Amino acid sequence: MLNTLKHENILSAQEFLLPSRLEYFQEIYILMELMQTDLHKIMSSSQILTINHIKLFLYQILRGLKYLHSVKIMHRDIKPGNLLVNSNCLLKICDFGLARSLPDQDETSKRNLYMTTEVVTQYYRAPELLMGATYYNWGVDIWSVGCIMAEMFTRKILFESGSPIEQLELITDLLGTPPPSATRYACPAARAHILHPSSLLKLPCLDPLLSLHHTTCSDSNNSSPNAFKQIHSYSTNGCSQTFSKNHDTHCKDAKADPRRVPLTPEALHLLLRTLSFDPDHRISADRALTHGFLKEGRRRFEGLKVGGKDAMSCNKWSGYYDPGCESRLGSTQRIKAALHAYLMDIYEWKNPPLLINQFSPLYPKFKKTASHMSSSS
């Protein structure tokens, strides 16, 4: 995937280091672009992020996901630590260790397709994964984006819990108990648990997000009530009532953390579209990129300068990952042989000069292996 996906917001492989003979192929070293930091380190620091930073980062995340999803790849581990950032605010998605291609499926094939739920770091895991769904789609990446978006505003993890069950409870605390149709991909036991008649029916309660709207009531009273009512058009029943009931209270209680960014109604609209409990109602990366909140992010991205040249445009996307290649690899040995042959074919193999650190803890193992390879040849 790293070698075939070519996009400005996807970390690409520059070179591969591996032995020229298959029998010695035990390790592979991938040389990739050098990036300066990641979004997790930025949000954990005292660095101030403005709303324009958030718009720019979010635009690039969704831009990279639009490309991945267009070539039928789910990343399945979108989190701040996998979003690399440079000082010029250029962002690239990395770590495809959990990525998977998803071929087109009809309804019958979907029911027979098994997909693991052990993906995505728990804090950013979509509810269908928490509920044991064996089939899911691109929406799992979009849910993660919503969690990250909220985290950029609050500088706190939105759903921080100690277990998947507690994680699901935090989600329903915020979004309310989902309708039965929103749990159709869940395993029967999880569906029965969350929809059990004896369970307390939860209404949407967006208090943690409302407290971010404004830091002073005078600002909010002048500008926000009508904008908040507009969100009712797509939100679940009760959301807009929760807004109007709790907004004035929570603007008084907003914490004075200088790193927190006020959440505008437009931002909240997009956030709730990404955090739809029903994955089929979750906004796509393509649609999210056209949202009004990201208009400024698009403008700023197009103005980026990379290497003294104007920033990249969408028509420079290239590369395509063939999902069919996975079906032809039925064993570890076949994968190993196919990968070795593929890389040897696309690169004119030349043993690159390597500077070995003799003080590395791994040096004795390297020296022993190198001596063995030399004597064998």
Q: Which of 38, 77, 257, 280 is catalytic?
A: 77
Q: How far is CA 377 from CA 21, 218, 257, 295, 372, in A?
A: 10, 79, 64, 60, 9
Within 10 angstroms of residue 315's Cβ, the number of other Cβ atoms is 6
181 within 8 A of 191, measured Cβ to Cβ: no
User: How far does Cα 260 stand from its chain's mean position?
Assistant: 21
The answer to whether residue 77 is catalytic is yes
Residues 140 and 242 sit within 8 Å (Cβ to Cβ): no
The dihedrals phi and psi of 238, each to the nearest 5 degrees, come to 100, -15
Tell me how far apart the alpha carbons of residues 137 and 198 are, in angstroms, rounded to a whole number: 31
What share of residues in the chain are helix, strand, coil (percent, to 5)? 50, 5, 45
- Backbone φ and ψ for 30, nearest 5 degrees, come out as -110, 120
Q: What is the set of active-site residues? A: 77
